[in-house]
Amino acid sequence: MRFCCLTVLLLSGVVGISQNCDYILSGAVLDAHDGSPLSEATLVIAGLEIETTSDINGAFSIPNLCKRTYAIQVYHQDCSAKGYTVKVDGNTSKTFKLEHHLEELNEITVKGEKKGKTKTIIESKLSNKQLEEYSGSTLGDALNSISGVSSLNTGNAIIKPLINGLHSSRVVIINNGVRMEDQEWGAEHAPNIDINTAGSLTLIKGAGALQYGGDAVGGIVISEAPRIQVKDSIFGKTIINGASNGRGGSLSSQLTKSHNNGWYASLQGTIKRFGDYESPNYILSNTGIFERNASFRTGLNKFNYGFEGYYSFFKNEIGILRASHIGGAQDQVNAINSSVPLIIEDFTYNINAPKQEVAHHLVRFSGFKKFEKLGKLNAQYNFQRNNRLEFDIRRGDDADKASLDLELDTHTFSLDLESNSYKNTTVKAGILLGYQKNFANPNTGVRRLIPDYEKTDVGVYSTANHDINASWSVEAGVRFDYTLMDVLKFYRTSFWESRNYDVLFPELVIKDFGTQVLTNPELTFSTVSATSGISYSINEHHKFYFNYSLASRPPNPSELFSEGLHHSASRIELGDLTFAQEMAHKFALTFQKQEEVFNFSINPYINTINDFIVIEPTRIQQTIRGNFQVWEYRQTNAQLLGVDLDASLQLTNNLSFNHQFSIVKGYDRTRDIPLINIPAANTKNEITYENEKLNHLKIGLQSEYVFEQNEFPNTNFEVFIPETGNSELVDLSTPPAAYHLINLKSNIDFKLSKTSLLNMGLKITNVFDTSYRNYLNRLRYYADDLGRNINLTLKINY
Amino acid sequence: MKTFKLMPLLFTLTLLLFNCSNDDDNTTDDEPVVVNEEEVITTLTVVLTPNGGGDVITLETKDLDGDGPNDPEVTISGNFAENTTYGGVITLLNETVSPAENITEEVEEESNEHQFFYTIENGLNVMTSYNNFDDNNNPLGTRFNLTTGVASTGGLTFTLRHEPKKPNDGTLSDAGGETDISATFNTTIE
């Protein structure tokens, strides 16, 4: 909305005659609801590039104005922007009132307003304040607090967001305007983002935001840097976090300098260190974390143009539960049948193999320019380097050598144009060029899990939205992508022949090494994705959205090229060279009620995915190490149906109640069986006491109930146990029982000085130290999940 | 407005960067190096020599494609004689590299972290005992004795565990650790 207004005002232009120009326009910006002053509101005089910011009392003053009529745009972080026409004749005083959204009312501010990324899909947003609670945890933990989002975990540190039942390559993560290319294909590869760099997180459940990609079958997570106001200021914050579970903590600090000429710079860093975590009854040996992150950005932000340079570095060392590293099916039987992990050692901060070491560099240059007749043009170049090392337990000279060493470099250049609103229509269009190169270091002494490849992408998109009248608006968009993958892959000759590739693709072989062949597949994918939808405001409080999106996702390198033993899963994984792209049709409906006492939104959806790529067990492979289960990727037709529900009720002035419920069902329609790893139904209920007068004291008691997943495919298999001479069933599929956790959180502010504020937060998760296992934790076979955790956070703003 | 002049400069710079890195990345022409698995054990050979003469029995399992689709090839040179004690020697090889690498040496060097287990199916009249030990005098088992009883048949399983609990009660379930090898031979005593 702000943008629309701004551009309308820009277009309207102002004609003035040069004359006596030393008048002052002064006044205040107030909250339209209660008349309280709004600080840091920005006032822009259209066409003149004059801008100013209101002070702590909401007051502002604009000098050197002439006697004439000015168009002024006023905006504030928490408000809808508003345009005014002001006649200046002598020193003039004026009060501007803005509609201030009560952002703290909901745990999650459901944003259906027009300033969202899409117009017809409901978006969920986590504010800076909400994110600060997760300073010592991960992006996945924070997203988990949104209804319809769960996570696929490997232990307690590798947390991948699962949106409406889908994860990995089906969830696109945008970090500061850059699409993360951090080997997101792996189920045990967590997003390489420091949550402390995010000023806000927006979640779009679906592929509707085509400017970010057409392959977000599950959804899109957008992490945005905090806004920096155009004014002379230096400010910062430091968050110190200590946790009892893991006996560690994190320290994150941020310092920002801004000038009223538009220049700004911001420096941020985080260090996080935890030892072994603990379940209620035992130590989870080798689950420590050591994370170091830093980011820097600087740029110029003017009303009409601006640019920014950004660099971030992320480095993470994560221990993988020692007891989860097992040799074969017989070990698996022992591990699963044991009620406690087979390896429990004393608490330590040391991180040994099996472990991961990941480093991610991100460099971005971006700029924008607003053209009066055209709109806003954005250009961006970014470079990412992701290096992933995985260490297994090895023998002899190789003991300290990584088993996997992949370096993924990605360059992307994009150009986007967002048009001015013309006759209530806004058009966005853009082009993207991408180049990616994966290098698998052969010095590991282990065959490459992901082959060397080069990938080139070209994408173009256009979206448009039109406000028919005050109640109805429509949106539509289309995107084309072309992907070329040039791969150099060594296949085992035995596998190459068993798949009949030697007959189907003899031309791909460029060199024969006897037991292995070097092949050069060149794969191309042309994909179309689209979105369309409507939104309808029934009245001031009730709103209705409907969206259809078509998403197309080319298969990822793991789905195409996996071929061999995956140690962390103790199974042989096989990809398929012949895969085509996945096509998803998602219909989503939202009905929303927003008012002061009772709010709710209900969001049913159906996602039908053709050629859905699923991995499932097919047989047992005998090897000299014993038997292993073989998991093969295959394509099928899948369908996901679900509903997400959010509700909040303001009981009294100080007391509010929040409710969330999500359920999703996933089916393989070709074989008529349930899909694996679909989150179980879950509900969160929270009662919050809040008192502004008592130093913003806030106390919340949350109940989190996760049902038992009752629909799952049978992936059990039998293994021969030489000791008994019998075969024994390996039960990999039965989901763990339902569980109920109680969490407590409290928060209080202390004013240290005029400009600095101390915020203290105490959070206790799993208050009753309940033992439980989570269906979506890949290590659930081997150990219980986390026990009680007492977490103290101190935040100082200065 | 002056600052805006920086924009084309910035873009040129970025395009340059983009192109440069493109030029660097010509590895498609360079052939990647083939990786032969270093630690893989492809072959387990058990040579059993009867004390006081007789036929030497060789049990062998060979899986040249590792965790590839081919099953291991199992060969048994002959049947055991009744009531005989055999001296057993286990050899582990990695035959994916040439010349083949002897993994037994590595296992013996890291004897504290390894142990062989011999599992005898019910019905097979066989007893085993360890013949070599680690630095702490716990069993290692690349050398062992095998004593046969009366005629019978059944599975004889050799399991090599990495990082087992040591000492243990001699069973796999008590020892834990990770399986490096698990090979079953269907043997006959006659």
pLDDT digits (tens, 9 = 90+) for A315-361: 999 999 998 888 777 788 888 888 899 899 999 999 998 999 999 99
Amino acid at the residue A8 = V
pLDDT above 50 for A11 = no
Tell me how far apart the alpha carbons of residues B181 and B77 are, in angstroms, rounded to a whole number: 20
Angstrom CA distances, A351 to A137, A387, A584, stand at 18, 19, 41
Question: CATH number, domain at A77?
Answer: 2.60.40.10
Query: What is the per-residue burial (b if ≥16 Cβ within 10 Å, else e) of A64-103?
Result: ebeebebbbbbbbbbbbbbbeebebeeebebebbbebbee
- Tell me which chain B residues have a C-beta less than 8 angstroms from the C-beta of A628: 67
How does residue B21 score in pLDDT terms, banded at 50, 70 and 90?
very low
**B66-98 pLDDT tens trace:** 888 888 999 999 999 999 999 999 999 998 888
Per DSSP, what are the bridge partners of residue A517? A491, A512
- Tell me which chain A residues have a C-beta less than 8 angstroms from the C-beta of B175: none
Number of folded domains in chain A?
2
Angstrom CA distances, B156 to A724, B85, B117, B164, B188, stand at 12, 15, 10, 20, 10
Q: Of A421, A224, A49, which Cα lies nearest the Cα of B4?
A: A49
Residue A324 DSSP class: G
Q: Considering Cα of A369, then A374, then A375, then A376, what sign does the dihedral take? A: negative
Lowest mean pLDDT among A33-42, A192-201, A516-525, B66-75: A33-42
Question: What is the residue extent of each domain of chain B?
Answer: 43-189
Instruction: Give the total residue count for chain A.
Output: 798
Model pLDDT, residue A101: 43
In chain A, the percentage of residues whose pLDDT exceeds 70 is 94
Helix (H, G, I), strand (E, B) or coil at A66: coil
How does residue B4 score in pLDDT terms, banded at 50, 70 and 90?
very low
- What dihedral do alpha carbons A493, A496, A500, A505 form, nearest 10°? -110
- Residue A215 lies inside a defined structural domain of this protein: no
How does residue A85 score in pLDDT terms, banded at 50, 70 and 90?
confident
Cβ neighbors of A439 (< 8 A, separation 6 or more) are A406, A407, A408, A409, A452, B27
**CA angle (B87, B44, A322) in 5-degree steps:** 110
- Tell me which chain B residues have a C-beta less than 8 angstroms from the C-beta of A451: 32
Output phi, psi for A448, to 5 deg. Answer: -65, 130
pLDDT above 70 for A617 = yes
CA of A488 to nearest chain B CA: how many angstroms apart? Answer: 7
Amino acid at the residue A126 = L
Place of tokens 């009531």: B83
Model pLDDT, residue A84: 82
- Residue A546 lies inside a defined structural domain of this protein: yes
Model pLDDT, residue A80: 62
* Contact assignment for A367 to B11 by CB distance below 8 Å: yes
Q: Of A188, A223, A185, which Cα lies nearest the Cα of A582?
A: A185
Tell me how far apart the alpha carbons of residues A705 and A617 are, in angstroms, rounded to a whole number: 30
- Residue A19 lies inside a defined structural domain of this protein: yes
Output phi, psi for A443, to 5 deg. Answer: -70, -5
Tell me how far apart the alpha carbons of residues A108 and A684 are, in angstroms, rounded to a whole number: 13
Domain finish residue from A80, A98, A116: A98
A680, A775 contact by CB (below 8 A): yes
The tokens of A397 are what? 């000279």
Q: Report yes or no: B98 at the A interface, CB cutoff 8 Å.
A: no
Q: Nearest residue of B to residue A304 by CA position?
A: B1
- Provide the CB-side half-sphere exposure for A472 (13 A, CA): 3
A232 and A92, same structural domain? no
**A207-236 pLDDT tens trace:** 778 999 999 999 999 999 988 888 888 999
Instruction: Give the total residue count for chain B.
Output: 190
pLDDT above 80 for A46 = no
Query: Alpha helix (H) ranges present in A119-257?
Result: 128-132, 139-143
Sort residue A11 into left (φ over 0), alpha (ψ -120 to 50) or beta.
alpha
Query: What is the per-residue burial (b if ≥16 Cβ within 10 Å, else e) of B32-69?
Result: bebbbbbbbbbbbbbbbbbeeeeeebebbbbbbbbbbb
Lowest mean pLDDT among A455-469, A700-714, B161-175: B161-175
Task: Residue A511: give the domain boundaries.
Answer: 224-797
The tokens of A778 are what? 């890949």
Helix (H, G, I), strand (E, B) or coil at B149: coil
Amino acid at the residue B188 = T
Tell me how far apart the alpha carbons of residues A366 and A626 are, in angstroms, rounded to a whole number: 54
Tell me how far apart the alpha carbons of residues A363 and B18 are, in angstroms, rounded to a whole number: 12
**A757-796 pLDDT tens trace:** 899 999 999 999 999 999 999 899 999 999 999 999 999 9
Q: Of B152, B167, B11, B1, which Cα lies nearest the Cα of B79?
A: B152
Model pLDDT, residue A58: 84
* Contact assignment for B32 to A518 by CB distance below 8 Å: yes
Higher pLDDT, A719 or A496: A496
- Residue A216 lies inside a defined structural domain of this protein: no
Report ipTM for this prediction. 0.77
CA of A493 to nearest chain B CA: how many angstroms apart? Answer: 8
**A413-457 pLDDT tens trace:** 999 999 877 888 889 999 999 999 999 999 988 889 899 999 999
Q: Measure CB to CB from residue B7 to each of A367, A516, A565 and give the nearest one.
A: A367
How does residue A607 score in pLDDT terms, banded at 50, 70 and 90?
very high
Q: Burial, B1: exposed, middle or buried (Cβ in 10 Å; 0-12, 13-18, 19+)?
A: exposed
Q: Considering Cα of B174, then B178, then B184, then B189, what sign does the dihedral take? A: negative
How does residue A571 score in pLDDT terms, banded at 50, 70 and 90?
confident
* Contact assignment for B181 to A486 by CB distance below 8 Å: no
pLDDT above 60 for A18 = no
Strands (E), A372-449: 375-391, 404-419, 425-440
Q: Nearest residue of A to residue B7 by CA position?
A: A367
Mean pLDDT rounded to a whole number for chain A: 88
Place of tokens 């969160």: A684
A744, A763 contact by CB (below 8 A): yes
In which element (H, E) is residue A761 found? strand A757-765
C-alpha gyration radius of chain A: 28
Strands (E), A554-696: 563-566, 571-574, 582-593, 598-623, 626-650, 655-668, 673-674, 682-691
Domain finish residue from A98, A120, A152: A98
Q: Report yes or no: B174 at the A interface, CB cutoff 8 Å.
A: no
* Contact assignment for B15 to A413 by CB distance below 8 Å: yes
* Contact assignment for B69 to A494 by CB distance below 8 Å: yes
How does residue A78 score in pLDDT terms, banded at 50, 70 and 90?
low
How does residue B16 score in pLDDT terms, banded at 50, 70 and 90?
very low
- Residue A175 lies inside a defined structural domain of this protein: no
Q: If you count residue pairs, one on A and one on B, with CB atoms under 8 Å apart, how many are there? A: 190
Tell me how far apart the alpha carbons of residues A439 and A452 are, in angstroms, rounded to a whole number: 5
Residues 7-26 of B with CB under 8 A from A: 7, 10-11, 13-15, 17-18, 21-22, 25
**CA angle (A776, A780, A782) in 5-degree steps:** 160
**A546-562 pLDDT tens trace:** 999 999 999 999 999 99
Angstrom CA distances, A522 to A454, A559, A579, stand at 10, 15, 13
Domain finish residue from A51, A80, A98: A98
Residue A104 DSSP class: G
pLDDT above 90 for A52 = no
Interface with chain B: mutation pick from A344, A362, A395, highest number of B CBs within 10 Å: A395
- Residue A152 lies inside a defined structural domain of this protein: no
Q: Report yes or no: B27 at the A interface, CB cutoff 8 Å.
A: yes
Higher pLDDT, B60 or A724: B60
A548, A587 contact by CB (below 8 A): yes
pLDDT above 70 for A2 = no
